[in-house]
Structure 1
Amino acid sequence: MAALKMLSSDDFAGRKTGTEGNRKAMEWIESQLRDRAVMPATKEGYRAPFTAPNFRSPDEIIEGINLVAAISGTKNPKTAIIMSAHYDHLGADDGIYNGADDNASGVSALLEAISWFQANPPKNTILFAFFDAEEQGIVGSASMVDQFSTTEKENIAINLNLDMVSRADKSELYAIGGYHFPELIPLIKDIASRAPLKLLRGHETPDLGPDDWSFASDHAPFLRSGIRILYLGVEDHADYHKPSDEFDKVEPDAFARSVDTIMLTAEALDDWVAGLETSPTD
């Protein structure tokens, strides 16, 4: 809750990519990674700058910075699970779009996941990606996927993406991925049987039109590349993409149960991936 309150404060002025507020948010997240002493994903550090066309408006060039940390796997260090959340939002126009749920919540949960897996080392390597420019056309995650070599793609078992995970007002969280990768369905059902809230499937079939979330966030570039995805998020609410998406709208118990469900999911995925026969072990 402290991280959520900080990231959704006016200090970051809506965190829009390319603004001073976005830079300050990036630096604050980076300071949290340093404080946790988590390993940077590359020798260059946590920052992964990118310049890329806006996915939705190709004539527009976006410049941003992803942050990526890593915890090495104890069994399959060459096999990677990518946990992700975007830290950017819509900035300030007719008010400050602080984006408490969208997506300070996902970033806060991702920081909690780092602390959890530091205390409970994963079997597979986990990369923790804090993406920029999701609101500008899912640019940051697309840039990361575009830079993967063929071998790197083959060694990525799944992307677990978190976007809008705090407003579980109906005690519900949706898991998207089983339609595209049916092998995940038994896993999702098992997690749902143990989760402290309702973990539901849905919002992932083409017949749903705008209600199909398959390509609605940073998991989209992974899905397009044939990499498994599991996306966790709540349904849209009255404050979605409005200045009213504020910290005081988040009910702490609901968010806590959502984060517990995310941790259950991450642990279950780690165990599941470790059991895959195709996981590299050398």
Structure 2
Amino acid sequence: MKYLLNFLLLFFLSCPQFTSAQNINNEQLLQDIKYLSSEELEGRKPLSDGSLQARAYIKERFYSLGLTSQYPDLTQYFDFRNRRDGKLYEKAANIVAFLPGSESEKLIVIMAHYDHLGRKGDEIFYGADDNASGTAAVLALSEYFSNNRPKHSMMFVALDAEEMGHQGAKALVDDFPFPLEQVILNINMDMISRNDDNEIYASGTYHYPFLKPIIEKVAISQQPKLLFGHDVPGTGRDDWTNASDHSQFHKNGIPFIYFGVEDHKDYHKTTDTFENIQPDFYTSTVGLIANIITVLDNDLLEEQ
């Protein structure tokens, strides 16, 4: 019995120490996604009143944590022309917060887009899963790591105009406040709040296979079920490598992990509402992502 107890103690001490989902502020997480996908914000189309309100809300949340930024008022403004209608959008905005690491100036960029399709006539495309879910998760992770300082510096970014061709991510990479070589990892979250099969994908390890065993050791004992894939070249729409904002970092050779679910019946429809998210799945997913980032933060430092 003595030897068994000693073995169990050594086993426990050698295992990665994971935060439970309860260490994420789940009440605030759900409050954030509910507000960001509310009727008041009207789907957060770039430059709309709802988008401006979303910006102000995200900035207030970052400021409440004492986070700083390399951009004045946490805001990176940019202009772009929408390829579909030719309209020029001036002063679209990414909201960018910064947390210095305890041991490294290398950067992990954690991001999600906050824009959606907005209002079309009398219909509102609320964009709860796409992508109020990822935006609220960025806020939750910024709070978690503010209270549990990471080894690497972290940048928390709410990106604008993803739905119009990843414009916010392009602007961020083109006007990045540090040499891009400082970024060792990009985490992108786009649609993470619902899945009937209790599955979330971590896409990107086909391109950056060294990340897979690190992630596997976290995910093996946790829920929801984490799957790999949707990143194999030549598989058409099944390949998510260029499907969201992480593509702009990948084009610059920066390793990425894209967390997301497969499309559901409410994707890009007016029924993508807060009432249709799955709160238990969502909070567990954000807790799992927090654990994965924590282990990546530790393990990638050891490899430098």
Bin for the TM-score computed over the shorter chain: over 0.9
Q: Is structure 2 residue 95 aligned with structure 1 residue 62?
A: no
Which residue does 1:104 correspond to in 2?
132
Name the counterpart of 1:19. 48
Superimposed CA distance per residue, residues 128-148 of structure 1 (whole angstroms, 9 cap, x where no aligned partner): 011000011100011111123
Offset, 1:276? 2.3
RMSD across aligned positions (CA): 1.6
Q: Which residue of 1 aligns with 2:24?
A: none
Cα offsets for 1:133-186 (capped at 9, x unmatched): 00111000111111237x611110010001101013211000011111111121
In structure 1, distance between residues paired with 2:71 and 2:169? 20
For 1:255, the equivalent position in structure 2 comes to 282
Runs of 4+ in 1 over 2 A off after TM superposition: 56-63
Which of residues 128, 135, 145 is equivalent to 2:173? 145
Answer yes or no: is the 8 Å Cα contact 1:169–1:254 preserved in 2.
no
Which secondary structure does the structure 1 equivalent of 2:145 belong to? helix
Q: Identity over the aligned pairs, expressed in percent?
A: 38
Counterpart position of 1:6:
35
2:35 aligned partner, one-letter code: M
Contact 2:215 2:296 in 1 (8 A): no
Task: Find 2:117's aligned residue among 73, 90, 93.
Answer: 90
Which residue of the partner structure matches residue 209 of structure 2? 182
Residues 74 and 96, structure 2, Cα contact 8 Å, conserved in 1: yes
**More displaced stretch, 260-269 vs 239-248:** 260-269
Return 5+ residue gaps in structure 2 as ranges.
Answer: 1-29
Q: Offset at 1:188?
A: 2.4
Matched residue SS, 2:155:
strand
Match for residue 36 of structure 1?
65
Aligned partners of 1:48 and 1:65 also within 8 Å: yes
In structure 2, do the counterparts of structure 1 residues 101 and 53 end up closer, same or farther at CA, with 3 Å as the change threshold? same
Match of 1:158 among 182, 185, 188: 185
Q: Does 1:223 align with 2:250?
A: yes
Residue number in structure 2 paired with 1:276: 303
Q: Which whole-Å CA distance do the structure 1 matches of 2:85 and 2:128 have between them?
A: 29
- Structure 1 window deviating more from structure 2 (23-32 vs 116-125): it is 23-32
- Is the CA contact (8 Å cut-off) linking 1:98 and 1:243 kept in structure 2? yes
1:191 equivalent to 2:207? Answer no
**Count of aligned pairs:** 273
The one-letter amino acid paired with 1:2 is Q
The correspondence for 1:46, drawn from 65, 74, 77, is: 74
Q: Could you say which residue in structure 2 is the equivalent of 1:280?
A: none
| 1:203-214 mapped onto 2 (5 Å cutoff) | 203-214=230-241
**Matched residue SS, 2:158:** strand
Kept after mapping to 2: 8 A contact 1:165/1:233: yes
**Closer, same or farther: CA 276–57 of 1 in aligned 2, 3 Å:** farther
Q: Distance in 1 between matches of 2:289 and 2:231?
A: 19
Cα 1:126–1:169 shift into 2, 3 Å? same
**2:195 corresponds to which of 168, 187, 191:** 168
Q: Which moved more, 1:189-198 or 1:161-170?
A: 189-198
Q: Within 2, Cα distance between the matches of 1:235 and 1:118?
A: 31
Equivalent in 261, 267, 272 of residue 245 of structure 1: 272
Quote the offset at 1:272 in angstroms: 2.2
Larger-Rg structure: 2
Match of 1:136 among 161, 164, 173: 164
The Cα shift of 1:205 comes to 1.0
SS of residue in 1 equivalent to 2:179: helix
Q: Deviations over 1:77-132 (max 9, x none)?
A: x2000000100000011510110100000111111101111111000000001100
* Residue deviations 1:214-265 (CA, integer Å, cap 9, x gap): 1111101000111111100111100000000000111211111111111111
- The separation in 1 between residues aligned to 2:266 and 2:182, in whole angstroms, is 38
Q: Using the TM superposition, give the Cα deviation of residue 266 of structure 1 relative to its aligned residue in structure 2, in angstroms.
A: 1.3
Code of the residue aligned with 1:4 in structure 2: it is I
Cα shift at 1:57: 5.4
